[in-house]
A and B are shown apart, each in its own frame.
Chain A
């Protein structure tokens, strides 16, 4: 089972939203997808149109306890960041292999950056979600300084909630594009339908099938399909970044 890790520099950038839609896109591409959230305060169910009171079953819970949404198996393991045996456990369970038979999208909260670093070397892809915002940009030097060259080189980036009608957002986005270059998987436009879908307790694809954010997030997920077949080391985006001329406002 290839593992795709989603993480971020700071909270609130939309990592869980991005992880959910990567999972949906990979599932639509034919993969058998498990989403594993490791957040102690988890919002993953909301992106699948589930009730806020929903608690996801453990990764190790039996199949009859599974929560399946559109064929995607939703699991939770908030103890994973403290569990030094997490990666060996994944391996013992038959994960960490290539192919579309079983794919795991692992959503890591921003505070658990040490956990993310531990898992990334074993993953098929590492996706760092950013906002085109100055506070996120300000954290980049510190994060890059702390990370190993291997982890940096293995990471692809996504700009989420991009509002290109705003000058600073546009400039910040251009800065990120230049900084990460080919490793920009894509950008997801700011779209009011995302929180509205949560408020309606519906998946975004059902509430707003024409949502710009939905189309962008699906494109990001689809761009990750080659990662499922990359053996040995994390796959890294090479050239799927949209050029500035193709950027649009929602």
Chain B
């Protein structure tokens, strides 16, 4: 690190410097074709379903749980691309009893694509 940069960081009381804060949220992102293709792939939903499957097991919860980040299930992502059915509650999304209607989501995405909305 150059000495002038080191001196500046010392004056700022920081170890590194961010010249810009990036605050892109998922809902504001462009739907790159590869992301769209991934969202259409039902295999990706295994990451949500795995937690539901394991949660249903007797020895479910990990010992260390610190809830500080409000994550959302994959199903809620799809609703961001139009007026599709948003997942209702975390309990519904991860409860395991409710199957996500992948085909309906795909149809919806396809419709939006054909209308030029995504």
* In the complex, A118 has a CB within 8 A of chain B: no
Count A-B pairs with CB separation below 8 Å.
147
* In the complex, B101 has a CB within 8 A of chain A: no
Please give, as numbers and ranges, the residues of chain B lying within 8 Å of A249 by CB-CB distance.
Answer: 18-20, 22
Please give, as numbers and ranges, the residues of chain B lying within 8 Å of A174 by CB-CB distance.
Answer: 24-26, 29
Count A-side interface residues using an 8 Å CB cutoff.
57
* In the complex, A141 has a CB within 8 A of chain B: yes
* In the complex, A210 has a CB within 8 A of chain B: yes
**A interface, by DSSP: helix, strand, loop or mixed?**
helix
Restricting to B33-75, which residues have a CB under 8 Å from any CB of A?
Answer: 34-35, 38, 41, 43-44, 46-47, 49-51, 53-55, 59, 62-69, 71-74
Closest residue on chain A to residue B14 by CB atoms = A210
Restricting to A134-154, which residues have a CB under 8 Å from any CB of B?
Answer: 134, 137-138, 140-142, 144-145, 147, 149-154
* In the complex, B23 has a CB within 8 A of chain A: yes
Which stretch, A21-29, A31-39, A45-53, A222-230, touches the partner chain B?
A222-230
Closest residue on chain B to residue A169 by CB atoms = B22
Q: A138-B38, A147-B46 are in contact. Are A244 and B25 (CB under 8 A)?
A: yes
**B interface, by DSSP: helix, strand, loop or mixed?**
loop
B67 to chain A, nearest CB (A): 5
* CA distance in complex: A248, B19 (Å): 8
29 residue pairs bridging A and B, Cβ less than 8 Å apart:
A134-B34, A137-B38, A138-B38, A141-B41, A142-B43, A144-B44, A147-B46, A149-B53, A149-B54, A150-B53, A152-B50, A168-B32, A170-B22, A174-B29, A175-B26, A178-B26, A178-B74, A181-B71, A182-B69, A184-B69, A210-B1, A211-B16, A215-B15, A230-B64, A238-B62, A238-B64, A240-B68, A247-B21, A247-B23
**Given pairs A144-B43, A182-B67, 8 additional interface contacts (CB within 8 A):** A134-B32, A144-B50, A179-B47, A235-B62, A238-B64, A241-B71, A248-B18, A249-B20
Lowest 3 CB-CB distances: which A-B pairs, in order?
A: A181-B71, A248-B18, A152-B50
